[in-house]
């Protein structure tokens, strides 16, 4: 029996709770949390009508969530109205928090997000991680995590988990970086190198970026293909509001879809992969520029100045993206393609050729292309929010700690 592939991520919505009375109670706690989180402040009566339970049943659930510090009462609402006043419920701004972290090629970042989804603490460190051994990198990351946790604690927040975004392929154990070519890491168990006291989830940056888009984006549909870039090209497939992970956890590798079968050799062993045409380094090379630290900033600046070589290179990248996305759209039939990460900043110059290519190859049935508002903030936010969502999805798992 294969492990279910399309299961929710350990820290993402939809994880299955057992089909028992106890499981039903836990699911109902989650329904209350999600309802108040999405629509609050709400009275107990409104929550009851939203989720189709009796007022009495909801009150029991709400009392448990208040005792555990996950919900707060704002006091009597609309005191002028007839009848016993309800007290409006809201998600607590103290208590559980999610810690997100990102290992980038040129930086490390950590943040704490409360149950309301507000970033409450943040730390960033610029450093060149390419080719660096995992130990010192994760040592620095641990120091940043400790700093953010300490800051959050001053505001009454305690971390329920740590989620780390990495620029590489992560095994389905959600701990092991199988391959991160731009860091030159192979088969590294991050669990062994990070604080043991926090439940850990490691995932590909494109995956976390797509989850951020799903949870925080403006009207992001439940079905989309997320394309991002940092050196390489990252991709993530969201179907029915959940990440498609693949057998080994490697799904979404749009960067290695062949665009021209006999094109340039790629580090993956293939030829003519999308990354060889639309990756940051490929675009810089095509424009005759030398890769430095702020690669995207340089490209955007030159493109805005009308640099013909840069514009031509970005047009070529857009065309290659259009060809690869044609294949992806035919296979997945998503509602939208979202350009995220570094691609969001370059979208003005990529979109014309990308959209033309996609439209002419998919006969008018082309998929809409949207640009992420989160841009390169996506992976870090997605990581932190994945921890928060896990609390909303199963509040009972943390209420015991209070």
CB 369 within 8 A of CB 358: yes
User: In terms of CB distance, is 53 or 311 closer to a copy of itself?
Assistant: 53
Distance CA 277, CA 317 (A): 5
Is residue 177 near a copy of itself by the rule CB under 8 A? no
Q: Could you say which DSSP state residue 367 is in?
A: P
Total binding residues for a copy of itself by CB under 8 A?
57
Distance CA 183, CA 236 (A): 20
Q: How far is the CB of 6 from a copy of itself (least distance, A)?
A: 4
212: left (phi over 0), alpha (psi -120 to 50) or beta: alpha
Is residue 58 near a copy of itself by the rule CB under 8 A? no
- Per-residue contact string for residues 194-223; x = within reach of a copy of itself by CB under 8 A: ---------------------------xxx
User: In terms of CB distance, is 7 or 151 closer to a copy of itself?
Assistant: 7
User: In terms of CB distance, is 28 or 46 closer to a copy of itself?
Assistant: 28
Is residue 361 near a copy of itself by the rule CB under 8 A? yes
Q: Kindly indicate which of the ranges 94-102, 109-117, 269-277, 372-380 contains the residues binding a copy of itself, using the contact rule CB under 8 A.
A: 269-277
CB 91 within 8 A of CB 68: no
Is residue 171 near a copy of itself by the rule CB under 8 A? no
Residue 346's alpha-carbon distances to 149, 253, 317, 328, in angstroms, are 34, 20, 10, 21
Q: How far is the CB of 276 from a copy of itself (least distance, A)?
A: 12
Is residue 41 near a copy of itself by the rule CB under 8 A? no
Distance CA 63, CA 32 (A): 11
Is residue 38 near a copy of itself by the rule CB under 8 A? no
Residue 213's alpha-carbon distances to 28, 72, 162, 221, 290, in angstroms, are 26, 28, 19, 9, 31
Question: Quick one: which of 22, 24, 78, 126 contacts a copy of itself (CB under 8 A)?
Answer: 24
CB 324 within 8 A of CB 254: yes
The side-by-side arrangement of strands in the sheet containing 224-230 is 242-243, 232-239, 224-230, 336-339, 368-371
Q: How far is the CB of 224 from a copy of itself (least distance, A)?
A: 9
Site residues for a copy of itself, 219-258, by CB under 8 A, read 221-223, 235, 237, 239-242, 244-258
Q: How far is the CB of 234 from a copy of itself (least distance, A)?
A: 12
User: In terms of CB distance, is 150 or 331 closer to a copy of itself?
Assistant: 331
| Alpha helices for 68-123 (secondary structure H) | none
Is residue 25 near a copy of itself by the rule CB under 8 A? no
Q: Which of 264, 384, 364 is nearest to 11 (CA)?
A: 384
Per DSSP, which regions of 199-267 are E strands?
Answer: 200-204, 224-230, 232-239, 242-243
Site residues for a copy of itself, 288-347, by CB under 8 A, read 323-324, 326-328, 330-335
Is residue 181 near a copy of itself by the rule CB under 8 A? no
Q: Which residues bind a copy of itself (CB under 8 A)?
A: 1-2, 4-7, 19, 24, 27, 221-223, 235, 237, 239-242, 244-261, 268-271, 323-324, 326-328, 330-335, 360-365
């Amino acid at each position: 029996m294969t492990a279910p592939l399309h299961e929710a991520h350990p820290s993402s919505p939809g994880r299955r709770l057992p089909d028992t009375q106890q499981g039903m109670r836990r699911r109902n706690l989650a329904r209350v949390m999600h309802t108040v989180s999405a629509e609050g402040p709400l009275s107990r009566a409104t929550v009851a009508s939203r989720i189709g339970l009796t007022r009495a049943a909801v009150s029991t659930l709400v009392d448990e969530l208040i005792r555990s510090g996950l919900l707060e009462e704002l006091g009597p609402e609309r005191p002028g109205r007839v009848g016993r006043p309800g007290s409006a419920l809201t998600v607590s701004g103290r208590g559980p928090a999610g810690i997100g972290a990102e290992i980038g090629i040129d930086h490390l970042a950590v943040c704490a997000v409360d149950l309301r989804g507000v970033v409450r603490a943040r730390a960033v460190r610029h450093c060149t991680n390419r080719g660096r051994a995992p130990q010192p990198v994760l040592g620095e990351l641990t120091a940043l995590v400790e700093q953010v946790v300490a800051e959050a604690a001053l505001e009454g927040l305690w971390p329920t988990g740590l989620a780390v975004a990495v620029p590489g392929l992560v095994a389905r154990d959600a701990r092991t970086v199988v391959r991160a070519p731009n860091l030159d890491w192979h088969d590294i168990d991050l669990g062994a190198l990070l604080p043991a006291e926090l439940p850990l989830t490691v995932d590909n940056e494109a995956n976390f970026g797509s989850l951020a888009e799903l949870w925080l984006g403006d009207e992001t549909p439940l079905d989309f293909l997320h394309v991002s870039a940092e050196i390489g090209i990252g991709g993530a497939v969201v179907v029915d509001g959940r990440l498609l992970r693949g057998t080994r956890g490697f799904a979404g590798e749009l960067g290695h879809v062949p665009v021209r079968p006999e094109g340039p050799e790629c580090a993956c062993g293939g030829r003519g992969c999308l990354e060889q045409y639309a990756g940051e380094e490929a675009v810089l090379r095509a424009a005759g520029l030398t890769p430095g630290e702020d690669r995207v900033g340089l490209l955007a600046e030159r493109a805005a100045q009308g640099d013909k070589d840069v514009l031509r290179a970005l047009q070529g990248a857009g065309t290659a993206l259009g060809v690869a996305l044609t294949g992806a759209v035919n296979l997945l039939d998503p509602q939208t393609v979202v350009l995220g990460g570094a691609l969001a900043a370059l979208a003005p110059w990529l979109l014309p050729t990308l959209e033309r290519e996609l439209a002419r190859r998919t006969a008018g049935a082309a998929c809409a292309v949207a640009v992420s508002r989160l841009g390169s903030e996506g992976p870090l936010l997605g990581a932190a929010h994945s921890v928060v969502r896990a609390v909303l999805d199963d509040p009972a798992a943390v209420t015991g700690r209070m």
